[in-house]
Amino acid sequence: MPRYRLIVAYDGTDFHGWQRQTGVDGGPLRTVQWCLEQAVVGAIRHAVPVVGASRTDAGVHAEGQVASFAVPVDVPAARLAAALNSRLPRDIQVRAASRVPDSFDPISDCDTKRYRYALRDGCRHGMRAHPFESRYVTEVVHDLDVGAMQSAAPALVGRHDFKGLAGQTEQKATTVRTIHACDVVRSADGVVRVSVQGDGFLYNMVRIIVGTLVEIGRGRLEAGIVPRILATGNRELAGPTMPPEGLCLEWIHYPREALEGAATSMAATEPVA
């Protein structure tokens, strides 16, 4: 069946995460996957699963989530994004849609992901972050030494066992991952941003990495703790899991061969309205 790739952005605040879920009453919870699948039904008249590359948690945002689905009809990819967006809530947007090879798998085919975490420090004595930041920036009471955080970050780069910097890893075949880059910067607006890029991530791994760097930045942990956490796999040595609102999935990259062979848009056998 023809397969299509979507690049999706969403504000995760009011969602129960990416993955389709059922509530206690037996009805569907408001998740990004469920909303996209409903939009596909409305636009193409076929109920099909929409598979996402990353199962973001409740409250986590995305600028470049990747999802795909296959339908038993050819649809004009050039019109697909607009057709879906007209049926989606305002906190989800399909930024682009394209035809991809039938074999494309958004999970196993990706080779690199990049997450960004935003936080504002020194939020004490009533000096909170700006209201417009509240959905996307995590407040930290303590002042952070960004230099100390920067000195600790390079130890995360490389291929390591990240068991000590993740939660609920028992379902994974391996806890070894490769981190290509980890950067900590304080922007001109005062927000501290931690960017982590790698071939894949364990559950809560980025939020725990940031929590560990925050503890280093406030002086509660030494920068040298990172190699020890990696060597021992001891989760108790690491920092806390940071709240979800500061985390955003920036982009997901695929090798060219995974995307090659996509056919150009063809006349649809059924309308995309």
pLDDT at 125 over 70: yes
Q: Which region, left, alpha or beta, applies to residue 79 given φ > 0 means left and ψ of -120 to 50 means alpha?
A: alpha
Residue 265: what pLDDT?
Answer: 36
Residue 260: what pLDDT?
Answer: 84
Alpha-carbon distance of 61 to 211, in angstroms, equals: 18
Residue 169: what pLDDT?
Answer: 60
CATH code of the region 112-251:
3.30.70.660
Beta carbons of 15 and 30 less than 8 angstroms apart? yes
Domain boundaries, the chain: 3-109, 112-251
Determine what percent of the chain is predicted with pLDDT higher than 70: 94
Residue 131: what pLDDT?
Answer: 86
Alpha-carbon distance of 58 to 45, in angstroms, equals: 29
* Residue 268 pLDDT grade (very low, low, confident, very high; cuts 50, 70, 90): very low
- State which fold the 3-109 domain adopts: Alpha-Beta Plaits (3.30.70)
Alpha-carbon separation of residue 13 from 30, 73, 160 (angstroms):
11, 34, 32
Residue 168: what pLDDT?
Answer: 79
Residue 119: what pLDDT?
Answer: 96
Residue 170: what pLDDT?
Answer: 54
Burial (CB < 10 A; 0-12, 13-18, 19+), residue 178, is: middle
pLDDT at 55 over 80: yes
Q: pLDDT digits over 173-228, tens only? A: 899 999 999 999 999 999 999 999 999 999 999 999 999 999 999 999 999 999 99
One fold for both 3-109 and 112-251? yes
Residue 186: what pLDDT?
Answer: 98
pLDDT at 270 over 60: no
Q: Name the pTM for this structure.
A: 0.92
In sequence order, what are the residues at sequence separation of 6 or more whose Cβ sits closer than 8 angstroms to the Cβ of residue 108?
none
Residue 144: what pLDDT?
Answer: 97
Angle of helix 77-85 versus helix 32-44 axis, rounded to 10: 120
Q: pLDDT digits over 133-171, tens only? A: 889 999 999 999 999 999 999 999 999 999 999 987 656
Residue 272: what pLDDT?
Answer: 56
Alpha-carbon separation of residue 237 from 12, 43, 214 (angstroms):
30, 50, 13
Determine what percent of the chain is predicted with pLDDT higher than 90: 86
pLDDT at 264 over 50: no
Alpha-carbon distance of 212 to 60, in angstroms, equals: 19
Beta carbons of 218 and 143 less than 8 angstroms apart? yes
Positions marked active-site: 57
Mean pLDDT calculated for residue range 55-66: 97
